[in-house]
Amino acid sequence: MRRSKLPLKEVLAKGHLHIGPQVVEVMVEDPDGVIRDWGLELKGLVICDAGSWCVQYAGGMPAALPELELKVKTLRKIEDGLGVLEDKYGVPGSFGQYAVRVADVLGIKRFRAQGLEHLTPREAVHVIDHRPAVSHRVGEPERPRGAASA
């Protein structure tokens, strides 16, 4: 049963894709629980380029079955939407294009980076693709190129 009369689209439109130096995060404030009422979970959702592009949940905290089911439903929605966009536009040419497509599938239209509040999708692609090189593992300190891994 839905606790709020706000439509999901309206809540998602207030969210944004946060472009950080190491991760690209989906950020949506949802104090009324509208997103969960619609059977989705966006808390902790990150878009990563760790070897291959993917959408995953940050943190390895254990979760109960209902929370895991919400996460699986959310990831399936994203994968299905990305498939539709790939059929329509072809394979994304860069990680930035991939991240912006994920935001599009979720209905998120705003993009932010440090010091940049109102990026267009095209600007977001540029900022994401031109971030400094980061480690393939989130949170791992960056090693100089050519340095051996531990």
- Output the six-digit token pair for 29: 């404030």
Give yes or no for residue 28 having a pLDDT over 80: yes
Residue 127 has pLDDT above 80, yes or no: yes
Around Cβ 89, how many Cβ atoms within 10 Å? 11
Q: In terms of pLDDT, which residue wins out, 56 or 136?
A: 56
Tens-digit pLDDT profile for residues 38-68: 888 888 899 988 778 989 888 766 678 888 8
Crossing angle of helices 95-106 and 65-89, in 10° steps, is: 120
- The residue among 150 and 91 whose pLDDT is bigger is 91
Provide mean pLDDT across the span 139-143: 41
- Asked whether 43 and 29 are in contact (CB, 8 A), the reply is no
Give whichever of 6-15, 52-61, 100-109 has the largest mean pLDDT: 100-109
Write down the pLDDT at residue 52: 84
| Res. 143: pLDDT tops 50 | no
CB 80 within 8 A of CB 59: no
Across 16-34, average pLDDT: 85
Where is pLDDT greater, at 25 or 143?
25
49-82 residues labelled b (16+ CB within 10 A) or e (exposed): beeebebebeeeeeeeeeeeebbeebbeebeebb
Residue 144 confidence (pLDDT)? 44
Q: Give the domain ranges of the chain.
A: 8-129
E strand or H helix at 116: strand 116-119
Residue 5 is predicted with a pLDDT of: 58
